[in-house]
Structure 1
């Protein structure tokens, strides 16, 4: 295994995040190292290919020092993806639930508590959707300048978890208290099984943001506190 192959393999082992963005980073590093090695060979013909690669790797910097910078970029990419999905999904959830409510409506008037929870849920979804849209803007405009992009990534992950749990809780309550079609807690949970894959995906995205920014075992690198470039969607 060449010096470049060994370096790239170690970097790949240390990094975690969106698969496509990680693969792009690895390719960029490999190409940069090869270009650097070619430059060494061009400037010093007496140097062999193996030594040129070793020098290129040495000049690039040790993996433990650079991996946190790349890890931060991957974490920001995950936050971008999460905020984008939530900003799109929440309005769709509101539209679908509204159509279901109108299609399955009854002549029975809902109680005050039921109406309060329904309105609060709608307002929460609107506020959450706007917040995730603002997060997208912040990730695009401020991540390069922020003192800690990691804090922004964690905020997106935490907001995602709170949003999903709130949606699940309100959904159970509204199902149990639906006018003329209320059910028990067990019935509401069983009836909500078809929505679990969607909720599971949203929960995964939030957890992923938090996991990519948590400290790792010694030698595995830690997320950088310095600004990192924000990837495209």
Structure 2
């Protein structure tokens, strides 16, 4: 079949409107294209119409892109939230373990001040609580997606919690570095010293911000998450 077919045009428009994890989005597009081609083949076998007409009928039966895109967008948003929650649930305990080992390795026996000790303990408690919280959000994604409730709110909560957690970690790290008992440093010194950790923080911040971006209202040419349940992605 020469030129752009009805299925090709439909799939391109759907691809343009959807935003989210690339691999899952690519899988969706392939599934839609294959499903439409199978439907067109069935129409041809049943009615004997031309290939172009069979594709047109298959596309029409599947539904207009503005009507089907929200459900696909919801699934993409849930996939992003699922991955983000998993990363945070696993990464936060690792961050606490690594910082504890670094602290012990660099300790000179100088006793920290009570305020410094309280902040360090509060940071550890926060990391543990946040890790548990993200694990709970994973369960919430399961619960919402398997029932009649929309998971979009949980996706937004995951995104907001991720952004807030990263900002809290960065702030705590600056204060702990500036007030280190072995010799504190200025704010500028703490910022420069924290440059090696910036890529990791940037990645975590990006994951949270993307959850929020995928659920925000878009223009008329883009998909918006629907309020329908979405499948739960696998770990």
- Name the TM-score class by shorter chain: over 0.9
Q: Cα deviation per residue 1:15-59 (whole Å; 9 max; x = unaligned)?
A: 0000000011001100110111011011012x0000000000000
**What residue in structure 2 maps to residue 8 of structure 1?**
11
**Number of positions where the alignment pairs a residue of Structure 1 with one of Structure 2:** 232
Gaps of 5+ in 2: none
Q: Distance in 1 between matches of 2:231 and 2:43?
A: 28
**What residue in structure 2 maps to residue 29 of structure 1?**
32
Q: Distance in 1 between matches of 2:37 and 2:224?
A: 26
Pairing 1:135-174 to 2, within 5 Å after superposition:
135-174=137-176
Secondary structure in structure 2 of the residue aligned to 1:118? helix
Pairing 1:23-102 to 2, within 5 Å after superposition:
23-45=26-48, 47-102=49-104
Which residue of 106, 118, 125 maps to 2:120? 118
Paired residues of 1:160 and 1:202 also in contact (CA < 8 A): yes
Whether 2:220 is the aligned partner of 1:179: answer: no
Pairing 1:154-233 to 2, within 5 Å after superposition:
154-233=156-235
Paired residues of 1:106 and 1:179 also in contact (CA < 8 A): no
The TM-score normalised by the length of structure 1 is 0.97
**What residue in structure 2 maps to residue 127 of structure 1?**
129
Q: Distance in 1 between matches of 2:228 and 2:46?
A: 34
Q: Distance in 1 between matches of 2:127 and 2:165?
A: 8
Q: Distance in 1 between matches of 2:205 and 2:222?
A: 25
C-alpha deviation, 1:218, in angstroms: 1.8
C-alpha deviation, 1:112, in angstroms: 1.2
Which residue of 19, 22, 32 maps to 1:19? 22
